[in-house]
């Protein structure tokens, strides 16, 4: 470790926490100091051997420059974010778009009260896609922006299903309506509802004796997750889930179709194709943790989003090299 090494902690060790751990261990300028867990630390098969009880979190105050919160957006991060920001600068991937203003206000207050910085909603959507939506809007002020996700596994939506009573395990796939994507890429600017753009496919393993009809109703009516989409729910065995749905692919695209003058059509696009959603999200969170640590060291306090961060803060590359090789 050098004087410039960024000391990072992880809060939570599910799929996302493991992705964050891999990215930290690969970073040339970072040291992983702890993985906080609600489970027995001895039971976790981590790559780093850094698991500690979440009950010991306060003991690490001053030993980590930033903590990456890896809980789910449905319930965890709303509570975890403020609690952990009492001790550390924090980063999260909160992705319930409708509640981002509320989460921002809470985190801004807690971060300022505790002399910290908190960067929220910094995965790939919200996150990388947010940056591209803003750039596209700036470059093509006359136009329409569309965001498509998938086909792929949504960790947040899968987690929301798992929290329904009677659900043992679940995977949710977000599926874009390809005909609509093709029309926009050709320069059309249709008016679309949420339901027009995506389908949601849910594969659910129910607990023995669970009320499957009640589970399905809870899924398809869940606000902020499924209520505004055409959603299918398929109940399968645990063996089928492991056999057919163990991978975590995802991806998506931001498209803005517009005109720079009458009848001069321009189409802006940004696309992700991901073999592992949690590993890519973890990589984005770790890059954001680097930026958060640098902003904190520069005296910034309060809540931020990816829209507030200069690109150079994300990378372990000095300004001279960035100007020479990345412009």
The pLDDT tens digits for 250-300 are 999 999 999 999 999 999 999 999 999 999 999 999 999 999 999 999 999
Query: Are 146 and 178 in contact, with CB atoms under 8 Å apart?
Result: no
pTM: 0.87
Tell me which CATH homologous superfamily contains domain 128-276.
Dihydrodipicolinate Reductase; domain 2 (3.30.360.10)
CA distance 250 to 240: 20
Angle subtended by helix axes 100-113 and 76-85, to nearest 10: 20
CA distance 166 to 217: 12
Closest CA to 258 of 181, 144, 129, 138: 144
Q: How many CA atoms lie within 13 A of 29 on its CB side?
A: 17
CA distance 154 to 2: 37
What value does the mean pLDDT take over residues 227-234? 96
- Residue 3 pLDDT: 66
CA distance 70 to 92: 7
The better pLDDT of the pair 1, 147 is held by 147
* CB neighbour list of residue 188: distance below 8 Å, 6 or more residues apart: 257
What value does the mean pLDDT take over residues 54-59? 97
Q: Which fold has domain 6-123+278-320?
A: Rossmann fold (3.40.50)
CA distance 271 to 273: 7
Give the tokens for residue 45: 């098969």
- Residue 1 pLDDT: 61
- Asked whether the predicted pLDDT for residue 46 surpasses 80, the reply is yes
Residues carrying CATH 3.40.50.720, the chain: 6-123+278-320
Residues carrying CATH 3.30.360.10, the chain: 128-276
Closest CA to 73 of 99, 48, 43, 53: 99
- For 148-162, 171-185, 205-219, 231-245, which range has the lowest pLDDT when averaged over its residues? 148-162
Long-range contacts of 109-113 (CB under 8 A, 24+ apart): 110/81, 110/82, 110/85, 110/86, 111/85, 111/301, 111/302, 111/303, 112/301, 112/302
Pairing of strands 250-261, 143-149: antiparallel
CA distance 7 to 64: 5
CA angle (242, 248, 254) in 5-degree steps:
150
Cα–Cα distances in Å, from 56 out to 36, 69, 85? 8, 16, 15
- Residue 190 pLDDT: 96
């Amino acid at each position: 470790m050098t004087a410039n090494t960024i000391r990072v902690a992880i809060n939570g060790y599910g799929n996302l926490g493991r992705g964050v751990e891999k990215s930290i261990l690969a970073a040339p300028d970072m040291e992983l100091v702890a993985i906080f867990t609600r489970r027995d630390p001895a039971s976790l098969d981590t790559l780093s051997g850094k698991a500690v009880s979440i009950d010991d979190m306060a003991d690490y105050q001053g030993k980590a420059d930033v903590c990456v919160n890896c809980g789910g957006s449905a319930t965890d991060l709303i509570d975890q974010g403020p609690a952990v920001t009492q001790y550390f600068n924090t980063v999260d991937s909160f992705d319930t778009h409708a509640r981002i203003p509320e989460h921002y206000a809470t985190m801004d207050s807690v971060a300022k009260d505790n002399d910290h910085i908190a960067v929220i909603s910094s995965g790939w959507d919200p996150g990388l896609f947010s940056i591209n939506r803003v750039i596209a809007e700036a470059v093509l002020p006359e136009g329409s922006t569309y965001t498509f996700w998938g086909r792929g596994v949504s960790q947040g939506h899968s987690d929301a299903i798992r929290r329904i009573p009677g659900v043992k395990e679940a995977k949710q796939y977000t599926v874009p309506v390809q005909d609509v994507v093709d029309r926009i890429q050709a320069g059309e600017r249709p008016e679309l509802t949420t339901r027009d753009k995506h389908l949601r496919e849910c594969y659910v393993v129910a607990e023995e004796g669970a009320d499957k009809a009640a589970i399905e109703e809870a899924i398809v009516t869940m606000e902020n997750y499924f209520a505004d989409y055409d959603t299918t729910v398929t109940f399968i065995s645990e063996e089928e889930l492991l056999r057919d749905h163990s991978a975590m692919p995802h991806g998506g695209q931001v498209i803005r179709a517009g005109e720079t003058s009458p009848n001069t059509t321009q189409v802006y696009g940004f696309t992700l194709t991901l073999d592992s959603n949690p590993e890519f999200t973890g990589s984005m969170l770790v890059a954001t943790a680097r930026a958060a640590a640098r902003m904190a060291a520069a005296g910034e306090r309060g809540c931020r989003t990816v829209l507030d961060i200069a690109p150079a803060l994300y990378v372990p590359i000095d300004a001279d090299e960035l100007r020479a090789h990345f412009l």
